[in-house]
Structure 1
Amino acid sequence: MAVGKPTLYLVHEPERACFEALLADGFARQAAFEICSYLAQSTDLAPEFDAIGTACAARGLDFRAVELDDAAGVLETADRDRSLVWTLTDGVAYFRGGAAPALARLNGLRTIGADDSLFALCQDKFRSGAVLSALGLPVPQAGLVRGGEWLVEPPVSVSGYFVKPNRLGAKIGIWEDSRIGRAGDALGLGRRVFDAYRDEVVVQPYVAGRNVRASFLAVDPNAGVNVLGISFVESGGDFQTMADSMALYGDTGAAARDEGSYREPELVPVASLQPRAAKTIEGMAARLMAGLGLRDVFSMDLRVEADDTVHLIEFEVCPGLPCFDFRAYCRMQWGMSLAEAMAETAARRFD
């Protein structure tokens, strides 16, 4: 009997499918549109599925891009010994991609990335912050607001507070006034977020510093934190709003590229300016890998102050692969395009 090639399955949730599900659940069209914008990586990567397939074929692999709604049937029939599942889009509330690694485990299939429990944890900022704090990592202590009422009050802060949705992406629902002076002002923002998105808000003491993204892809299965890409992300603002995010990705970002108005933030290696902070971040990543089991692919968002104080804001087990920063990381660290890096990562797992 002929034996098929090893196959990489890339499971993704399209914006369209999410939008239709949210409308069916009673969300307003504008809110559903804004929520779905966080799935723009599926939109952005789709034109490159052929390139990923070609890169996989060059390494003796088959490649299948699988929409999330088809994943249960496809993975149920996949060959346990010759299949590898990579989840592109996560989510446990508005997005449903967190089901993909669980489906892979149900069917005895190997995966790229962390186990399915972490897909749920990292999507709940309040709970993940509590776990990260228990691991001794420098995470701002958070309060939690549902609607206009405190569930947990934040600590006193002389620097003011930052407010963001709890289960949506860190940018969705973030407006220009999301940095506030008094904790009580979070109640009004909490009502706005709950009315639009049905989400709680996390209220954290505002931390100063520059925005940093740390990206990790173990093209080599034995790679450690030495391959972590750690960069300042210079967008010209203190924090990225929902409007900023939508201008970079998906259909809006594509339109901006067509018009010539697209502007990517500048990436500057942290080690070139603050090597002590870069070493601290590597230590944090090692702690996450040992304490939580992060592996294969993940990212961290941080703030770094001028005196090398580092604040860990959040981690993601499903980083935006087609985003400008991750593409730059693949080029700089691995000397590969995104498609080549994905294919090589999968091929070495089969080896």
Structure 2
Amino acid sequence: MPQPRLFLVYEPEKACLDRLMNQGYPRDRATEISSYLAQSTDLAPEFSKIWREASRRGIAFTPLDLDEAATGIAGSDPATTLVWTLTDGIAYFRGGTAPALARLAGLRTLGADDSLFALCQDKFRSGAVLSALGLPVPQTGLARDGRWLVEPPACKNGWFVKPNRLGAKIGIWPDSHCRDLSQALELSRRVFSHYRDEVVVQPYVAGRNVRASFLDVTGHADMSSLGVFLVESGADFQTMADSLALYGGTGAEARATGVYAEPELVPLAATQPAADGEIRRIASKLMNGLGLRDVFSIDLRVDTDDTVHLIEFEVCPGLPCFDFRAYCRAQWSMSLAEAMTETAARRLVG
């Protein structure tokens, strides 16, 4: 029997940057957009560690640039092959094609199916689905270049504006929390001018930022394995500049010069156990009702009265990011490389 093999498929930042520039984006805008793929940049130096950990578990590890994926997985044995997609995307990014390529080749995948790769990258559509499941998501308006497609509800606390199909805080600025709808429309013009994207406009919800992370290392983990942490950055919300200072090449530079410090992670259960329990219920419903599995993350806001607001979910969480590494250490007592390869081994070799 062939040796079990793990393919890790990712889209590099540079491939995205070059493609966007060929589409006419200025270099600075293309750089901002492609920074969403910084986890492929951040994880690449650790491929040798992942390879060693995989070898110890009897697995061959092969990282694959997305453009090489179709050829790289061709002819693989479905009984001994697992495909893990590191980076997602359906619009500005293309990683959402990887699980579809694996399905076309008859290979098993780790993570959600490709339909959720498309859904999570469209905040307006995903919000509608999450609302239909009865989950606590803010009502959402949609605007394109200064024109309402769907008007948002009234809100005494103002509104929050962000691009519809871009992640990693791209297009979120200090004034993204606005006080009137004319300002929201002006932000939609700015986003369209910079990124050619629509914006979602949601009632601003008070509270602190919470990240819930999940990796099913054992193959049968339940909600007790969900890591729920307050993300204490000292700011009400993270901006694009904050994100650029955390990840990829610009993040490494910022950390080296002391310009930016990683936010503090605090277990939510230590101070708000009721909210922690509610988040685990929400995550369970996302798994049972939406089909999340294996690996994902959820962004939420939690108020002082334990009210929980679900903001969005990710099928490709930033594995090499500080928060997911901390989760692997806290929940599984493993490094990222160990947790990734143990997760694969449980599917491939039992």
Q: Normalising by the residue count of structure 1, what TM-score does the alignment of the two structures yield?
A: 0.98
How far is 1:262 from its partner?
4.2
> What residue number does 2:173 align with?
175
1:225 equivalent to 2:237? Answer no
> What residue number does 2:137 align with?
139
How far is 1:27 from its partner?
1.0
Once residues 335 and 201 of structure 1 are traced to their aligned partners in structure 2, the CA distance between those partners, rounded to angstroms, is 40
> What residue number does 2:266 align with?
268
Which stretches of structure 1, 4 residues or more, deviate above 3 A after TM superposition?
none
How far is 1:25 from its partner?
1.1
Alignment of 1:1-351 (within 5 A): 3-169=1-167, 171-350=169-348, 351=350
Which runs of 5 or more structure 2 residues have no equivalent in the other structure?
Answer: none
CA RMSD of aligned residues (A): 0.8
Q: Normalising by the residue count of structure 2, what TM-score does the alignment of the two structures yield?
A: 0.99
- Contact kept? 1:142, 1:155, Cα under 8 Å: yes
Alignment: residue pair count: 349
Matched residue of 1:176: which SS?
A: coil
How far is 1:79 from its partner?
1.8
How far is 1:5 from its partner?
1.0
Matched residue of 1:63: which SS?
A: strand
Once residues 57 and 293 of structure 2 are traced to their aligned partners in structure 1, the CA distance between those partners, rounded to angstroms, is 22
Kindly provide the CA deviation profile for residues 106-164 of structure 1, in whole angstroms up to 9, marking residues without a partner as x.
10000110000000000000000000000000000000001110000000111100000
Kindly provide the CA deviation profile for residues 176-228 of structure 1, in whole angstroms up to 9, marking residues without a partner as x.
11000012211111011011101000000000000000000000111011100
Once residues 273 and 119 of structure 1 are traced to their aligned partners in structure 2, the CA distance between those partners, rounded to angstroms, is 33
Q: In terms of mean alpha carbon deviation, does 167-176 or 125-134 score higher?
A: 167-176
Q: In terms of mean alpha carbon deviation, does 277-286 or 166-175 score higher?
A: 166-175
Once residues 36 and 234 of structure 2 are traced to their aligned partners in structure 1, the CA distance between those partners, rounded to angstroms, is 21
Once residues 289 and 105 of structure 1 are traced to their aligned partners in structure 2, the CA distance between those partners, rounded to angstroms, is 20
- Contact kept? 2:245, 2:255, Cα under 8 Å: no
Calculate percent identity across the aligned residue pairs: 69
Which runs of 5 or more structure 1 residues have no equivalent in the other structure?
Answer: none
Once residues 170 and 9 of structure 1 are traced to their aligned partners in structure 2, the CA distance between those partners, rounded to angstroms, is 24
Aligned residue type for 2:315 = V
Q: In terms of mean alpha carbon deviation, does 250-259 or 341-350 score higher?
A: 250-259
Once residues 262 and 51 of structure 1 are traced to their aligned partners in structure 2, the CA distance between those partners, rounded to angstroms, is 27
